[in-house]
Structure 1
């Protein structure tokens, strides 16, 4: 059933909130407190979800609450993706000055504008999940009985994709994006290539694979 996918979704978003690169960017934007609060709320919800899924079969209100949580989790995932992408962009600018003109086309032109936009997005998500956490208290949900499973299995993360790691199911997508990027070499202006889709589909992973591609590295 669809509800069974909610726990791994929330666990994954909580892991992304704890990502080292996300922490760095939110700290630079003065949003670290909001990021920490979001992470704590996601972990608190994660502890209760196993019990919530079991009880949702006979509780329509609880099922509605879980649907709202799923929507907010996807929204949070997209916001955290933006922080990760901005971190990768800044790393690229520091490491490769020759690519600065290219990168300027695919991100906010002003760090101040980025900070303002992301502050609004993060606070909006935080407000929604705070409301859901308050509602959750009314259900009297028990914590997960599986004490051996770590609450944050993806706590230790890294901003860079290990080039030695095999990623299955993304090679065709990566090759298409790489071809689009390299085919622009004779154009005066660089075209923006958005990667969009619902949370958890691997948008950030695909972007990292393209960034680490040897042809892309040599070209840019």
Structure 2
């Protein structure tokens, strides 16, 4: 059951990672390589979800791994939402440049640098956790499983298709 929820949630993350808005802000902030790495690592993890779903029933370590993955997926989603919000804010302030230039003069420079550093620390932390999960999947014996349907279901589908034509 966890596999279905996580797989759907990872699909949402893949959509967000592929969005033009996120790519634009990631490029602007110089974190586009990090976003590509997240995509690659999440792809590796998504491949073993079916196997993990089967093994979590009998293996507590796999169950914990799936739980850690779920929490990390929520953290990734939060970061991607923050970046999307920042992109929209940037677009809005770009359109109203004369007003915002006055406001920017009031913001102290160190505050901007602290926020920038905090964002990079968060990105680095998520990347490290993703890499740990990828490494741990191997030690847990998780592998890519193809979804297979029982033969009689395939036969029924083929028979239904023939009658439909």
Same structural fold, with TM-score higher than 0.5 when normalized by the shorter chain: yes
Report 1:106-125 matches (<5 A).
Answer: 112-125=113-126
- Structure richer in helix, relative to its length: 2
The answer on whether the counterparts of 2:25 and 2:83 sit within 8 Å (CA) in structure 1 is yes
**What TM-score, normalized to structure 1?**
0.57
The gaps in structure 2 that reach 5 residues or longer are 149-165
The answer on whether the counterparts of 2:52 and 2:142 sit within 8 Å (CA) in structure 1 is yes
The gaps in structure 1 that reach 5 residues or longer are 148-220
**What TM-score, normalized to structure 2?**
0.74
Offset at residue 111 of structure 1 (A): 5.6
- RMSD over aligned Cα, in angstroms? 2.7
Report 1:150-165 matches (<5 A).
Answer: none
Are 2:106 and 1:127 equivalent residues in the alignment? no
Q: 1:9-38: per-residue Cα shift (whole Å, max 9, x none)?
A: 122123212222112112111212111111
The answer on whether the counterparts of 2:61 and 2:140 sit within 8 Å (CA) in structure 1 is no
1:144–1:95 distance in 2 versus 1, CA, 3 Å: farther
1:84–1:111 distance in 2 versus 1, CA, 3 Å: farther
- C-alpha distance in 2 between matches for 1:75 and 1:99: 34
Q: Which one has a bigger Cα radius of gyration?
A: 2
Aligned residues: 143
1:50–1:98 distance in 2 versus 1, CA, 3 Å: farther
Q: Which residue of 1 aligns with 2:78?
A: 78
The answer on whether the counterparts of 2:7 and 2:46 sit within 8 Å (CA) in structure 1 is yes
